[in-house]
């Protein structure tokens, strides 16, 4: 019997297990459906509550703006905190809070609240804006500001008729200002533009003097002491040139810089003399050194520093006007700036600088001749400069005349310089530089020495 009963027991067991599994599946499916229905019910309830809260906030905000046509900052913050960040949920149709008078509240506009509301709510898309714009329609709380000027605004302003009138007024005023400040340079008869007085030029020279001393100290370049033979030589030549410089009342200070690789010398306004030791190797005699120092002193006698400062103002005005015009028409600003600067320097600054150098050569030659130095040594010095230093750029691109042209001009002036040296007693007070400065102040071109 056992072999026959074993299959029947397996069938019974399998049928029982299958019934229980089916019952479990039915119960689980029903439980899952019930849980899903409960979740959907709760989600609908929460969504309905959120919509009611949003409707209440919008209604209260409308009532707040209606009661406060000109909301103050405190009222805006109070409304924002009460109606937006408050955890309370409104149900139904909420009633607006009573108006609380504040010390900063403003009164109604002069044309009435109703007319004001009609003007403010005339636009249909007003309520489609963000909350910050709705709570403050005047744009105080906007997060992103529009650009101050756009290309469209600049082009519209450039084409406006008032802009044309303003441009004509500026051009006319500039032309009048330019002709008022013109003056004539003695001897050469050149007309130049100069707006700086002697006092302002001396102040600018004092600033340059202090800046130069600071830069030399930072670079570790030393100044030779007074007992050094090179300093003694420069002071000896300057002592003979100063009485004929036309600037005897200046507070002269002489500095010899210990830099044998730099062949340079200059005189700042106010009597500050700087000589680099490298120039002393080229100016081997006192007459040749007087050629260099007389030339640098002559720049101050003719007030070339003030002329250059005035010239820079005009050049900068032209340059930045060109940059503005190119930006309006959409051209490259950087290209216009570099190209304009090169063109203005080539056409205006460099030719003016070469004329100033020629004037300084002439005044310095007459000065050293009256101080009893040999003016023929000036030709020797510039010939040595021509052999030593090679000119890297052509003359029309340089701020100085070429050495060959300089030598040619000095040879033309040599007869007059030699005549002044013969008539000079090396002690006179009526020097050529004094007469030049008087003629410059009086606007006289020809200098007569009696």
Evaluate whether residue 20 is within a structural domain.
Answer: yes
Residues 232 and 83 in one domain: no
Residue 406: band (very low, low, confident or very high) from pLDDT cuts 50, 70, 90: very high
**Structural domain range at position 397:** 181-442
27 is a domain residue: yes
Helix (H) or strand (E) segment spanning residue 314: helix 304-328
Q: Which of these is catalytic: 183, 217, 250, 296?
A: 296
Whole-number Å distance between alpha carbons of 325 and 340: 12
| pLDDT confidence band for 11 (50 / 70 / 90) | very low
Question: What percentage of the chain has pLDDT greater than the value 90?
Answer: 28
195 and 52 share one domain: no
In angstroms, the CA 234 to CA 237 distance is 5
Q: What is the mean pLDDT of the chain?
A: 75
Using the predicted structure, report yes or no on whether residue 137 has a pLDDT greater than 90.
Answer: no
Q: Is the pLDDT of residue 302 over 80?
A: yes
Same domain? 205 vs 339: yes
Name which of 286, 294, 285, 395 is nearest 350 in CA terms: 395
| In-domain check, residue 9 | no
- When pLDDT is cut at 50, 70 and 90, the band that residue 429 belongs to is low
Q: Are residues 263 and 391 part of one domain?
A: yes
Integer Cα distance of 439 and 187 in angstroms? 9
Tell me, what's the pLDDT at 222? Answer: 87
Residue 349 has a pLDDT of: 85
- What's the confidence (pLDDT) of residue 4? 40
Task: Assess whether pLDDT exceeds 90 at residue 388.
Answer: no
Q: 198 and 125, same structural domain?
A: no
Residue, of 214 and 74, whose pLDDT is higher = 214
296 is catalytic: yes
Q: Mean pLDDT, to the nearest integer, of 255-261?
A: 92
Please tell me the predicted confidence (pLDDT) of residue 10.
45
Contact 60, 81 (CB under 8 A): no
Does residue 285 share a domain with residue 433? yes
Instruction: Tell me whether residue 162 is in a domain.
Output: no
Q: Domains in the chain: how many in total? A: 2
Band of the pLDDT at 161, cuts 50, 70, 90? confident
Q: Are 208 and 315 part of one and the same domain?
A: yes
Give the pLDDT of residue 94. Answer: 55
**Does 70 score more than 70 pLDDT?**
no
The 10s digit of each residue's pLDDT in 239-248 is 999 988 888 8
Same domain, 372 and 280: yes
Inform me whether the pLDDT recorded for 288 exceeds 90: yes
- Residue 161 in any domain: the answer is no
* pLDDT the model gives residue 64: 45
Position 77 pLDDT exceeds 60: no
119 and 202 part of one domain: no
Is the residue at 150 inside a domain? no
Helix-helix angle 304-328:151-159, to 10 degrees: 110
Q: Give the C-alpha separation, 301 to 244, whole Å.
A: 11
Same domain, 193 and 83: no
At 182, which helix (H) or strand (E)?
strand 182-184
Q: Is 172 a member of any domain?
A: no
- Is 325 a member of any domain? yes
At how many degrees (to 10) do helices 151-159 and 161-180 cross? 70
Flag the least confident range among 142-146, 254-258, 382-386: 142-146
Q: Is the pLDDT of residue 125 over 60?
A: no
333-361 pLDDT per residue, tens = 677 777 778 888 888 888 898 999 999 99
Shared domain for 192 and 78, answered yes or no, is: no
Shared-domain flag, residues 121 and 195:
no
Contact 306, 300 (CB under 8 A): no
**Residue 231 vs residue 112, higher pLDDT:** 231
């Amino acid at each position: 019997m056992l072999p026959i009963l074993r299959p029947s027991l397996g069938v019974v067991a399998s049928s029982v297990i299958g019934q229980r599994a089916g019952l479990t599946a039915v119960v689980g499916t029903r439980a899952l459906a019930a849980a899903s229905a409960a979740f959907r019910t709760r989600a609908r309830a929460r969504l309905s509550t959120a919509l009611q809260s949003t409707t209440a906030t919008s209604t209260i905000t409308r009532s707040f703006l209606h009661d406060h046509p000109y909301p103050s900052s405190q009222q805006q913050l109070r409304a924002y905190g009460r109606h937006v960040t408050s955890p309370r949920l409104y149900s139904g149709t909420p009633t607006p809070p009573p108006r609380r008078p504040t010390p900063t509240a403003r009164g109604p506009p002069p044309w009435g609240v109703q007319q004001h509301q009609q003007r403010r709510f005339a636009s249909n898309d007003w309520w489609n804006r963000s909350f910050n714009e709705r709570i403050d329609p005047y744009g105080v709380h906007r997060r992103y500001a529009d650009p101050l000027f756009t290309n469209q605004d600049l082009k519209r302003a450039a084409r406006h008729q008032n802009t044309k009138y303003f441009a004509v007024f500026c051009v006319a005023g500039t032309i009048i200002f330019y002709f008022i400040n013109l003056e004539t340079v003695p001897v050469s008869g050149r007309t130049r533009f100069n707006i700086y007085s002697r006092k302002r030029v001396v102040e600018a020279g004092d600033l340059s003097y202090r800046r130069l001393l600071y830069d030399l100290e930072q670079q570790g370049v030393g100044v030779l002491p007074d007992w050094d033979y090179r300093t003694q030589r420069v002071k000896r030549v300057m002592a003979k040139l100063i009485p004929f410089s036309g600037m005897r009342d200046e507070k002269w200070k002489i500095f010899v810089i210990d830099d044998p690789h730099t062949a340079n010398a200059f005189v700042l306004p106010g009597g500050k003399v700087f000589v680099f030791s490298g120039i002393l190797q080229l100016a081997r005699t006192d007459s040749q050194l007087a050629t260099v120092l007389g030339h640098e002193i002559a720049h101050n006698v003719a007030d070339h520093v003030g002329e250059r400062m005035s010239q820079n103002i005009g050049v900068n005005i032209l340059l930045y006007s060109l940059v503005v015009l190119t930006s309006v028409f959409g051209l490259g600003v950087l290209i216009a700036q570099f190209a304009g600067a090169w063109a203005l320097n080539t056409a205006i600054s460099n030719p003016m600088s070469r004329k100033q150098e020629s004037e300084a050569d002439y005044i310095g030659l007459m000065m050293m001749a009256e101080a009893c130095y040999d003016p023929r040594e000036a030709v020797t010095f510039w010939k040595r400069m021509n052999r030593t230093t090679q000119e890297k750029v052509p003359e029309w691109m340089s701020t100085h005349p070429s050495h060959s042209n300089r030598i040619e001009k000095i040879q033309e002036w040599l007869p007059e310089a030699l005549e002044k040296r013969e008539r000079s007693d090396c002690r006179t007070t009526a020097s050529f530089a004094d007469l030049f400065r008087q003629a410059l102040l009086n606007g006289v071109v020809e200098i007569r020495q009696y």
